């Protein structure tokens, strides 16, 4: 571990030196590239420097234990330093886990009502509120680019982008089938019903990602918007549907005011979907299923149950249960997401996941 930490520190210092050179500073792309790499290494470097200072303090304190007058005090201090060293050892192990290159990216999220008719759509609306409230609490912003209302409330589908540093690192575990158990407002006999909604989470493909889209491979359809988009959005042919012919991927954007804005947004989403497909194919070719995620990330995988009568939420992948469903549905997802992150790190440290 020390060898890796020393190599990381050296790389950080080399980058720091490079960024003082006029020829680098005059190259915007190089400056951006080096600054980004430094930012990615900074947390490890700061922690390692703290670790080295503690090691120095331990050696100095060991010398003090040889002095009869200082021995007792030095032994107590040495005990504290050893505990601090053990704590930072664990922090450094986690920091050295290879990072998911998509962790810093924005998120594209799709939520759809699945089994359960109107109640499934209402639940999809509840999930949308849960995630957007969570995003607001994290300081993220969000933008809906396509939605189809459910006939009794909620959405049969809603698609949005959540923007913020590290959004994907927090929300990447949410893909899958979410199950709700409650008495629906649409149920006149008061019977408990189980319904599902599906969530798909993808990293937004930013300018650093290379995805080639041949204009001859796409079909663009223009039509009148049907979603909520403000005054004027439903009176012109501004909605855009793009079909990527080789893969059959269809992207719809109708919540912007103009056709141009909707087309730009739809192309960004298409790029992200193709990037996600590209990453899947790459992982399969290398013989590595994407086990860095807890579960498969497949929309069909049942990942979580929301039991309203018992105010209980259970994540089946890690056996995590909390009786704070009311708070979670109001966006207090931190405990669930932190538990997923910690379990993912634990499995990686134990070597269950090959990086």
**80-134 tens-digit pLDDT:** 999 999 999 888 988 888 778 888 889 999 999 988 888 999 999 999 999 999 9
pLDDT score of 233 more than 60 = no
Report the pLDDT value the prediction gives residue 230, as an integer from 0 to 100: 44
Report the pLDDT value the prediction gives residue 242, as an integer from 0 to 100: 93
Distance CA 4, CA 12 (A): 12
Here the tokens at position 31 are 């400056």
Report the pLDDT value the prediction gives residue 237, as an integer from 0 to 100: 75
Q: Which run of H or of E encompasses 194?
A: strand 193-203
- Where are any strands of DSSP class E within the chain? 107-113, 141-149, 155-163, 176-182, 193-203, 218-223, 239-244, 249-253, 302-307, 312-315, 320-322
pLDDT score of 239 more than 60 = yes
Determine whether domain 215-285 maps to CATH 3.30.160.20: yes
The mean per-residue pLDDT over the stretch 255-275 comes to: 88
Q: Which run of H or of E encompasses 143?
A: strand 141-149
Q: What's the CA angle centered on 23, arms 17 and 28, to 5 degrees? A: 95
Report the pLDDT value the prediction gives residue 285, as an integer from 0 to 100: 66
pTM > 0.95: no
How far lies 251's CA from each of 32, 194, 338, in Å? 32, 30, 32
List where CATH 3.30.160.20 sits in the chain: 215-285
DSSP at 153? B
Average pLDDT, rounded, for the chain: 87
Report the pLDDT value the prediction gives residue 355, as an integer from 0 to 100: 45
List where CATH 3.30.70.1660 sits in the chain: 107-208+295-349
Distance CA 312, CA 280 (A): 34
Here the tokens at position 174 are 């949410």
**44-57 tens-digit pLDDT:** 999 999 999 999 99
**Where residue 236 falls among pLDDT bands split at 50, 70, 90?**
low
Here the tokens at position 176 are 């899958």
195 touches 206 (CB < 8 A): no
Q: What residues contact 51, with CB distance under 8 A and at least 6 apart?
A: 5, 85, 88, 89, 92
Report the pLDDT value the prediction gives residue 353, as an integer from 0 to 100: 46
CATH code, 107-208+295-349: 3.30.70.1660
pLDDT score of 209 more than 90 = no
Distance CA 58, CA 78 (A): 6
How far lies 6's CA from each of 51, 145, 315, in Å? 12, 46, 39
Report the pLDDT value the prediction gives residue 291, as an integer from 0 to 100: 47
How far lies 160's CA from each of 149, 255, 271, in Å? 14, 10, 15
Here the tokens at position 132 are 């957007």
Q: How many residues does the chain have?
A: 355
């Amino acid at each position: 571990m020390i060898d890796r930490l020393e190599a990381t520190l050296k790389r950080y210092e080399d980058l720091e030196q490079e960024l003082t050179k006029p020829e680098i500073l005059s190259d915007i792309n190089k400056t951006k590239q080096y600054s980004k790499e430094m930012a990615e290494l900074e947390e490890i470097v700061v922690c390692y420097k703290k670790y080295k200072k503690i090691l120095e303090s331990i050696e100095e304190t060991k010398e003090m234990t040889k002095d009869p007058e200082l021995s007792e005090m030095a032994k107590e201090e040495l005990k504290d330093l050893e505990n601090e060293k053990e704590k930072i050892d664990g922090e450094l192990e986690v920091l050295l886990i290879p990072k998911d290159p998509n962790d810093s990216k924005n998120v594209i999220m799709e939520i759809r009502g699945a089994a359960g008719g109107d109640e499934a759509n209402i639940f999809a609306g509840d999930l949308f509120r849960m995630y957007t409230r969570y995003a607001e609490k994290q300081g993220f912003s969000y933008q809906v680019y396509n939605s189809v209302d459910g006939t009794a409330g909620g959405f049969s589908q809603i698609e949005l982008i959540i923007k913020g540093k590290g959004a994907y690192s927090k929300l990447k575990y949410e893909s899958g089938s979410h199950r709700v158990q409650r008495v629906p407002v649409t149920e006149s006999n008061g019977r408990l019903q189980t319904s599902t909604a599906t969530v798909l989470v993808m990293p937004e493909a930013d300018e650093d990602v290379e995805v080639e889209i041949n204009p001859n491979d796409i079909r663009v359809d223009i039509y009148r918007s049907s979603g909520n988009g403000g005054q004027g959005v439903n009176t012109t042919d501004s909605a855009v549907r793009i079909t990527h012919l080789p893969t059959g991927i269809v992207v719809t954007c109708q919540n912007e005011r103009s056709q141009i804005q909707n087309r730009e947004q739809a192309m960004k989403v298409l790029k992200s979907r193709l990037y996600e497909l590209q990453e899947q194919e790459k992982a399969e070719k290398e013989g590595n299923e994407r086990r860095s995620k807890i579960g498969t990330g497949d929309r069909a995988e049942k990942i979580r149950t929301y039991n309203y009568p018992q105010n209980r939420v259970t994540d089946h992948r890690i056996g995590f249960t909390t009786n704070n469903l009311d708070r979670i549905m109001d966006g207090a997802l931190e405990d669930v997401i932190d538990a997923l992150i910690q379990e993912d790190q634990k499995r990686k440290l134990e070597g269950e996941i090959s990086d």
